[in-house]
Chain A
Amino acid sequence: MFEKVLIANRGEIALRIIRACKELGIRTLAVYSEADVDSLHVQLADEAICIGAPPSSESYLKIDRIMSAAEVGDVDAIHPGYGFLAENAHFAEVCESCKIKFIGPPVSAMQAMGDKNSARAYARKAGVSVTPGSDGIVENEQEAMKVARRIGFPIMIKAVAGGGGRGMRMAHNEASLGPAFHAAGNEAQKAFGNGALYIEKLIINPHHIEFQIIADQHGHTVHLGERDCSIQRRNQKVIEECPSPLISPGLRKKMGHAAIKLAQSVGYQNAGTMEFLVDNEGHYYFIEMNTRIQVEHTITEEVYGCDLVKEQILIAANERLSPHVAHAEPRLHAIQCRINAEDPEKNFQPSPGRIAFYYAPGGRGVRVDSHAYTGYVVPPYYDSMIAKLITIGATRASAIARMRRALDEYYITGIKTTVPFHSAIMRNADFRNGIYDTGFVERLMNSDDFEIKAMPARLHE
């Protein structure tokens, strides 16, 4: 087992990893930017090293400084969390050459699945259906037009190096294809340093269903069911639930089997997620794989009764998949709301700053993964998520009732948060009936009866 692990991340996921390490008796080393000196993960880690100025490019993305800290701290392994360097194959290679274990998949699997185009090719080879689209990179507008005419409009133009919903544009007809093609390429070049694009058929208002994969270094691969992540705003997930109200046991078996087959075909190890689009007729299409732990791993943990981050560390330390994970069955229902420091009444504009008062909900079936606390200053340099609120229930209805109750209890002042936005969704009839798709949030916000109620002042500060 590892003696010391460096956490190459920040915020709630850094805290999550530190907690798993502490429970396994592993010492922790946090690396942080100057903006995170008062962050909870820095305070709770056994050791902490400042690695740079606030901007991510000056700190959390600085491979040389992170490796320096790893050397100075004499660590055995590095957990990259999600985002930042988590899916950076070069970083994983550097770790390997420094004889420090990268807690994640092998470099070859990251490379195979990291390129969206290559991932689609592997899927086709493994007999897993993919969204109709281009056979590879689309070099120019003329080629794009040919593909679009073959598969039919509307189409989605996507970056091969993309992630997090960026570097993508829709085109509904021939006239809009050119501008969309160039816009996507420019955004991709800027965000990922790679402007290469491919094309997929745009499935109108699909359901975004993803399968959790976990595999040890001894050839044992299992899936831990699906998560429904269709509730998105501008291609960013806001609410996730497990299991999906859409997926029948038969479809779960078919898709799960496909996910395992694909993961095995690239020699995948550790935790990963296969993403699919599913239409209302039970047709599913592979879109991409995320070769890391995800933000919403939490709801799978609650439903399948496991600790995925601990399992990641154990797998990296060459342990076999824990029996309770290998034979996990879904019980219970779980929902997660991502609480962001954004003002839902002002078009979700970011709301960084000092949290004057912070009270998180508790009680039976409530889990809060958050690095926030009273007095914490939310920095403006990173993503706006400050907490993940998860509720667990015996049924979907009780999980929703619990989420409503928990959101009403959540009391954060000093900054604006998306708590009221989530409350409005929990009260929405369609959501409560399990009738939603990726177009849900937009339709809801454009409708007349959507109201975000301001938080009443209830707690004494």
Chain B
Amino acid sequence: MDLKDIKAIIDLMKKNDLSVFEMEKDGFRLKLQKGAGEQTVFSSPAPAAPAPVVTAPGTAAAPASEATASSALTDIVSPMVGTFYRAGSPETPAFVDVGKEVSEETVVCIIEAMKVMNEIKAETKGVIAEIVAENGKPVQFGQVLFRVK
């Protein structure tokens, strides 16, 4: 494959309004992607024993997901619209702090909606890594409150 062939492929992509072209042959791999304004072209020699394009589900997938799970953070998001409070009242301490271990049933905060104080549960297991929402400020549906690892 030389530059002439690659230019021909780019022309074909333009003509047919394609945004991604990927091919692999005899240890050579090419991917052309139409980006916003810029065309990135990269090719790389594949490993000696070319990896099959489609991996058998379950075999390659499992180790990968385990690896990601241990480094990923889970978001605790707001299930309602209201005002976020870290404690039950101004005098009592916060329900959780960074480093606190939580389980599904642990109350992590209060969201006040229409004068009703709703206790929000973690619904996940782990350790509080980050407090994202601000105490006393409004939160909307789906807004991230805490991050748990």
B-binding residues in A (CB < 8 A): 34, 49-53, 59, 64-65, 67-69, 71-72, 98
Instruction: Decide if A64 touches B114 in the complex (CB within 8 Å).
Output: yes
Q: Which residue of B lies closest to A98 (CB)?
A: B114
- Additional 18 contacts, C-beta under 8 A, given A49-B81, A50-B140, A51-B141: A34-B141, A34-B142, A49-B138, A49-B141, A53-B142, A64-B80, A64-B113, A64-B114, A65-B80, A65-B81, A65-B141, A67-B114, A68-B80, A68-B82, A68-B113, A69-B81, A71-B113, A72-B138
Chain B residues, CB < 8 A from A71:
113-114
A-binding residues in B (CB < 8 A): 80-83, 113-114, 138, 140-143
Instruction: State how many angstroms separate the Cβ of A39 from the closest Cβ of chain B.
Output: 15
Q: What are 17 A-B pairs with beta-carbon distances under 8 A?
A: A34-B142, A50-B81, A50-B141, A50-B143, A51-B140, A51-B141, A52-B141, A64-B114, A65-B81, A65-B113, A68-B82, A68-B113, A68-B114, A69-B140, A71-B114, A72-B81, A98-B114
Instruction: State how many angstroms separate the Cβ of A439 from the closest Cβ of chain B.
Output: 43
Q: How far is the CA of A68 from the CA of B114 in the complex (A)?
A: 6
Instruction: Decide if A68 touches B142 in the complex (CB within 8 Å).
Output: no
The 9 residue pairs across chains A and B that have the minimum distance between CB atoms? A68-B81, A68-B113, A72-B138, A50-B140, A49-B140, A50-B141, A65-B81, A69-B81, A52-B141
Q: Which residue of A lies closest to B113 (CB)?
A: A68
Chain A residues, CB < 8 A from B142:
34, 50, 52-53
Chain B residues, CB < 8 A from A64:
80, 113-114
Q: How far is the CA of A50 from the CA of B114 in the complex (A)?
A: 16
Q: Which residue of A lies closest to B137 (CB)?
A: A72
Interface centre among B113, B140, B141 (most CB of A within 10 A): B141
Instruction: State how many angstroms separate the Cβ of B32 from the closest Cβ of chain A.
Output: 21
Q: Which residue of A lies closest to B142 (CB)?
A: A50
Q: Which residue of B lies closest to A52 (CB)?
A: B141
